[in-house]
Amino acid sequence: MYAGTPIPNLVIDNEIFVLDSTSISCSINLMMWAEGKYERGAVKMHTLIDLRGNIPTFIHITDGKYHDSNALDEIPFLSDAIYLMDKAYVDFKALYHIQNLNAFFVPRAKETMRYEVVEQNFNINPTTGLRSDKTVMLTVKKSKKLYPEKLRLVEFYDETNNELLVFLTNNFGVSALEVARLYQNRWQIEVFFKWIKQNLTIKKFWGYSENAVKIHLWVAIIAYLLVAYLKHALKSDYSIYEIMQILSVSAFDKTPIRELFTDFQFNQNIKEPLLFEY
């Protein structure tokens, strides 16, 4: 995918972003600055991707103990954009900040959240997976002070995983089914993380200082963006993975880039991923 790609099952015009983090294990003995859970070492890469292009628009690199919700204080949110996130990002102070910027959020709701139902939509078709669509107000004193306005709760039954999903949002302008479909696209950031780790060799760091690790991760992201831009500029039908394979075997080829991808016959029999060296 590249910028401008439509999202399946969605006809929403808003810009849509997905926020999540990925942890990269490391040796706490070699990288004492990168503390993680359970006395282990870890580096976190907090990433916001544009869902219409799978392109990262924000990255924040921290140690493993940095709480995911703290990243909300670092992101420059855009008005009228929709931000999809997991329940780890339910911080009512930060969410109310997003509300005041006229942006929208769709995280999973925490099971411990306490609220009262103000209004309920009973016109629900259960065959779609929807179970309820409620307008609520928070009831816990501290939470209500941090987020004093109405919120929306959408319950959706995921038949594939036999799980009831509860979404929290400040967006009252889309249907309940669209809220659920929006969140279903959050998996794309997991694919992005997996692709980055498998194809850009960031599991083994070049150095152990905080600066060395950040340089390594930024170089990996820059390499991904360059290839994504190349795909977009050439309007190539090759996937980013295929383009990186072509580049890896053509590093010293003097053929102009456009001609290289026009003439190159991709070997469909290659099964093992070729790591991109940079």
Which of 2, 14, 19 is CA-nearest to residue 78? 14
Q: Which two tokens stand for residue 159?
A: 């038949």
- Establish if 63 belongs to a structural domain: yes
Same domain for 171 and 58, yes or no, is yes
Q: Give the span between the Cα atoms of 4 and 232, in whole angstroms.
A: 10
- Position 251 scores a pLDDT of 74
**DSSP code for 48:** E
Residues 244 and 218 in one domain: yes
Q: What is the pLDDT of residues 137-190, one digit of tens each?
A: 999 999 999 999 999 999 999 888 899 999 999 999 999 999 998 888 888 888
- Give the residue from 162, 192, 222 where a domain finishes: 192
- Tell whether 178 is covered by a domain: yes
Does 275 reside within a domain? no
CA gap 135, 133 in Å, rounded? 7
- 95 shares its domain with 124: yes
Domain boundary among 169, 192, 215: 192
273 belongs to a structural domain = no
pLDDT the model gives residue 127: 86
Q: What is the pLDDT of residues 251-278, one digit of tens each?
A: 777 778 777 777 665 444 444 443 333 3
Other Cβ atoms within 10 Å of 171 Cβ, number: 18
Q: Which two tokens stand for residue 245?
A: 């394979």
Residue 2 falls inside a structural domain: no
**Spatial distance between the Cα atoms of 46 and 85, rounded to a whole number of angstroms:** 12
Q: Are residues 107 and 149 in the same domain?
A: yes
Distance CA(113)–CA(11), nearest Å, equals 31
Structure-token pair, residue 199: 């194809």
CA dist 106 and 52 (Å) reads: 16
Q: What is the CATH number of the domain that holds 82?
A: 3.90.350.10
Indicate if 108 and 241 belong to the same structural domain. Answer: no
Same domain, 64 and 110: yes
Are 256 and 225 contained in the same domain?
yes
Q: Please, which residues have CB within 8 angstroms of residue 10's CB and are 6 or more apart in sequence?
A: 16, 178, 181, 182, 185
Q: Could you list the residue range(s) of the whole structural domain that residue 29 is in?
A: 16-192
Same-domain pairing of 173 and 64: yes
In a domain, 10, yes or no: no
Are 153 and 77 members of one domain? yes
Last residue in a domain, options 144, 171, 192? 192
Tokens of 61: 């690199």
Residue 40 lies in a domain: yes
* 213 and 174 within one domain: no
The H-or-E segment that residue 196 falls in is: helix 187-199
Can you read off the two tokens belonging to residue 195?
């692709």
Let me know if residue 11 belongs to a domain: no
Q: How many domains does the structure of the chain reveal?
A: 2
Q: What distance lies between CA 75 and its chain's CA centroid?
A: 13
Residues of the chain where predicted confidence (pLDDT) is lower than 50: 1-6, 266-278
Residues 67 and 147 in one domain: yes
Are residue 252 and residue 133 in the same domain, yes or no? no
* Sign of the dihedral defined by the CA atoms of residues 170, 174, 175, 176, in that order: negative
Residue at token pair 């479909």: 181
Residue 88, both tokens: 């780890």
